[in-house]
Amino acid sequence: MQHTIDLRSDTVTRPSPGMRAAMTEAEVGDDVFGEDPTVRRLEARIAEMLGKEAALFVPSGTMGNQLGIRVHCQAGDEFLCESNCHVLNFEQGAYAQLFGIAAQPVEGDHGVLHVEQLVGRIRPLNNDHYTHTRLVCLENTHNRGAGRVQPYDAVVEICSWAADNGLARHLDGARLFNAVVATGISAAEWAGHFDTVSVCFSKGLGAPVGSALVGPGDKIRQARRHRKALGGGMRQAGIIAAGALYALENNIERLAEDHQNARLLADAVRSSHGLKLDPEIVDTNIVNFAVDPELGTAAAFSARLRDEGVLMNAIGPQRLRAVTHLDVSREQVQLAAAILQETAAAVQSVAG
Ligand SMILES: Cc1ncc(COP(=O)(O)O)c(C=O)c1O
């Protein structure tokens, strides 16, 4: 096969030569002793970008989120979240498994919640039947919501309602910079409505490893302690932190190209008989679509695409997902879009 165009996720990127060079040259030390200058530089930089006091470098977005939840809640507490969010669906319920924390999910529209849906959900503190509601957790952009950007006004309303009612706010900002580039609203403006934010360097930003939890100094100090208990204390982590720093310097603005490429794929879906965009709107770099059952299952369609050199994952019996990223060029996306249309047409003609 002369080409494989990998659109399964924006996590499949490989470090570029420039990023590798930065990693090779990184100054390092023992970060568990707090002595890695590159990790310190990364933590200071991301804290500054999000307008927060401090940051903690962690191995994964999952750890960033779980520490974010843990610093606001303890056993017997709960957090409010959207029912399709990553924290709830794809992190093994670690908050419950490891910390005895519960979740109260609320169904959104492709990941988007509005404050009216949360009002009335805080459980009374003075009744021994109930968990204590302590935190609201949002996700921006929303992964299962097909990269949906949370409407800024809805975020402001939810977060001010939460603050007025004594709830902390955590943002799963694994793809926060996609929201920044899509809206022109800065990372600090988005983050300003939350106590803690987790951001990933290893998704659209293209670093090989790492995320950060960002927030007030006391919460980050607490998170540092919990990170150690989870085995997340890393030694000469400056090697990977250098990749993340490089990503922050070089790979944010270019996310706009991924968004344009996703729109190109979306157009191919729209014009293909038997395929349906869901949701119709593509805000950032994720395109979700449904395959008409007459054309077969999503798994079978994904296998057909794979045979043609295009990788897109089935995410449900009839649903597929395509994600654009810095390792697929405009030309490759154009080719993938053509292959998608041809495959739909070929399957359609067999289906009759
Ligand atoms: C929205 C969101 N949050 C958190 C994560 C977890 O990141 P990691 O895979 O680094 O644990 C992901 C991963 O895809 C994600 O999409």
Q: Which CATH class is domain 254-351?
A: alpha beta
What pLDDT is stored for residue 2 in this prediction?
Answer: 56
22 Cα to the center of ligand 1, angstroms: 24
What are the phi and psi torsion angles at 29 (to 5°)?
-160, -170
Other beta carbons less than 10 A from residue 285's beta carbon: 31
Q: Is 61 near ligand 1, meaning CB less than 6 Å away? A: yes
**What's the CATH fold of domain 17-250?**
Aspartate Aminotransferase; domain 2 (3.40.640)
Contacts with 178 (C-beta within 8 Å, 6 or more apart), sequence order: 141, 147, 149, 204, 255, 258, 259, 284, 285
pLDDT of amino acid 119: 98
Are 113 and 82 in contact, with CB atoms under 8 Å apart? yes
User: Tell me, what's the pLDDT at 3?
Assistant: 76
Distance between terminal CA atoms of the chain? 29
Q: Atom 13 in ligand 1: which residue has the minimum CA distance?
A: 61
Q: E strands, 258-297, where?
A: 275-277, 286-291
| Domain positions in the chain | 17-250, 254-351
Rounded Cα–Cα distance for residues 304 and 310 (Å): 9
Q: Is the CB of 88 under 6 A from ligand 1?
A: no
pLDDT of residue 228: 98
pLDDT at site 189: 98
CB 177 within 8 A of CB 202: no
Ligand 1 centroid to Cα of residue 202, in Å, is 9
CA distance 332 to 312: 14
Cα of 61 to ligand 1 centre, how many Å? 5
Distances (CA, A) of 41 to 53, 184, 246, 328: 14, 25, 12, 30
Question: Quick one: DSSP state of residue 163?
Answer: H
For ligand 1, atom 6, name the residue with the nearest CA.
Answer: 61
> Tens place of pLDDT for every residue, the chain, 352 residues?
457 999 999 999 999 999 999 999 999 999 999 999 999 999 999 999 999 999 999 999 999 999 999 999 999 999 999 999 999 999 999 999 999 999 999 999 999 999 999 999 999 999 999 999 999 999 999 999 999 999 999 999 999 999 999 999 999 999 999 999 999 999 999 999 999 999 999 999 999 999 999 999 999 999 999 999 999 999 999 999 999 999 999 999 999 999 999 999 999 999 999 999 999 999 999 999 999 999 999 999 999 999 999 999 999 999 999 999 999 999 999 999 999 999 999 988 777 6
Closest ligand 1 atom to Cα of 172: 3
167: left (phi over 0), alpha (psi -120 to 50) or beta: beta
pTM: 0.97
Q: Tokens for 160, please give them.
A: 């001010």
**Given this model, what pLDDT does residue 45 score?**
98
The whole-number pLDDT of residue 349 equals 79
Note the pLDDT of residue 352: 65
